[in-house]
Structure 1
């Protein structure tokens, strides 16, 4: 029951996080638009039936039923048809243009979005994109720099009672053994929950540092400073040399050409780390954030390839990659599993779950940032590209001494926008299917 409640809580936290991200994204558009005089009649979180709304000035603020997005309505997004290229009466472009301009009262004609200068258009349309970037960076910095990255810590999570007797070097699953078969940890008085402060004079703050110190000290008696119940104590520990499994950097067992587990003789104490969080130093945060941003941009740039691999995983042709594309269903499952991990047992500390959830929300915002950079309507990047093209045309006209070519006719891209929208719906459906049949 506790596990189920924790799982549901994770999904609810994700939904709330998405709603907040969308709300701030739309504020990134609305605030500069209002500042530049554009008329903004609606600001809503969600789609579908209206749940609640209120009017403040000329803008109606509200919430709708489906929290998978949101919108801010800027009047006059589409400019009038150029005199030399009139729309075909009754066409989709003609109807859309008429509807856009009809919403503007005569006294508000100067408040249309299309009348903004190119720099102001860029600020309005890039506002939402940059908001997601900032949110993503903040979430990641909080996750790894304040709460800390999930890691094996220098605090002991387990103390083995007896020396390993299995030929593979695995710890023996027994608790009662003769005194001479007790592990060095038991003989020295180490307990689960102790924090290794230093080992043979070497300060330790991570499990990797503890392992390195044990390997360096060999099998001689060494002084180990621990912290227990808020007080520091010094114990004498004498490791013994035993056959231990060989593992890689991720802790996975390494096997030989014959498929058998590899072992090696090395100093052994009989202690295991507790899972916890380790803060990334401020000097390393830019590199961590930069890697996350570039990785997200790369994933969006190779979106078709990623989609092909996802479909192949769904069909069972290949293994699902942990770095591949994920739908909101998959992200929801991750959120649920994050909060439910170790719920009620204490095996996964709260700090680890908080860090993982913040990282998930950070990755989601970075994905929204990168995805909206795609220069196609109806994405924000399509509007940014239109404004850039308008600015370039005007610049070239000035340089050549020609008349101002005027606003870029973004209405002509409506068919492209519809096609892109259909493709996005198909892609979302495919990824949802993959997350159901081949979940991460």
Structure 2
């Protein structure tokens, strides 16, 4: 059945978008925004969509966004897999398998993105197709009366201003462009993605205020940081304020700018609770406050990564310590990756190519994909029985080489 489905999948036209998005949102139990239901969003790429039709109804959907992903020491084109749904009437027929195979086969045969990424609605689904969680999203919360900056924190000589979205946008674009290339898991944002990032539909606010915008300016007027947040209004039975500060994004090019932005955020009037739902698990905020225990963190899986072409993906990233090992990769879903690869890398570059040498490490594509951004240790995967060491010490060497000083983090959902 999966082979038949593979041939029946096809991209949609603009006229078919309403039926496509209706089917997609039905599976997610959502009502699409009115304008999204009528016409494709500006970031939609219909030529990279897939639909399975059952008469005049769409029974399955999928799509790809053309993104650029920061990896250790470099950036790489990344296929942002999205819109993946299968109607309840068509499950257990090999439809999802056909979608995944079609996407990955086309990426490989057309020599497009060497890496794919997605956000998994449910954890158990995508591992069987070679995807693995490669970043962690930290969901911070705490009572603001306990969250105060240490007295020795350098706040610099700049100032934080609340601004309009029109003033905020060009300044934030410049700061983001300066910082995102240094954090594995971050993605570039063009104008279309900034439009999406800054969309503030009242129906999507869930009882919070409109988004508020902050910029940090140095004494000479240079913008070195930005933040966005919302507030939900709440009061106790005794009339005391009990609002919640919902922080959406905080980025800066210097520590003083970052600290100054947080100093303002933690002093917003009528607020008693902080929520920061999409932070790096290694956010410096924990080291800026006087009471690190007051900042509670709930880690959840973030961006899932899949190496489409092992050689191209591994040759693109950098390695902080030298490595020259043979990896025997097992990838039954994408057989072009199956086999032995010699990986030679260092801080300035890398090489990966086929070899008939004996392997030093044996692992699956899922494990290799998990380690790709430097946030998951191959030694940890070995301890879980998911990586096999053939040459003594190879896993230790590879773990150091695949690591990276900056914790991977993806603040861009899609």
If the length of structure 2 is used for normalisation, what is the TM-score?
Answer: 0.22
If the length of structure 1 is used for normalisation, what is the TM-score?
Answer: 0.21
Larger radius of gyration, structure 1 or 2?
Answer: 1
Higher helix proportion (structure 1 or 2): 1
Higher strand proportion (structure 1 or 2): 2
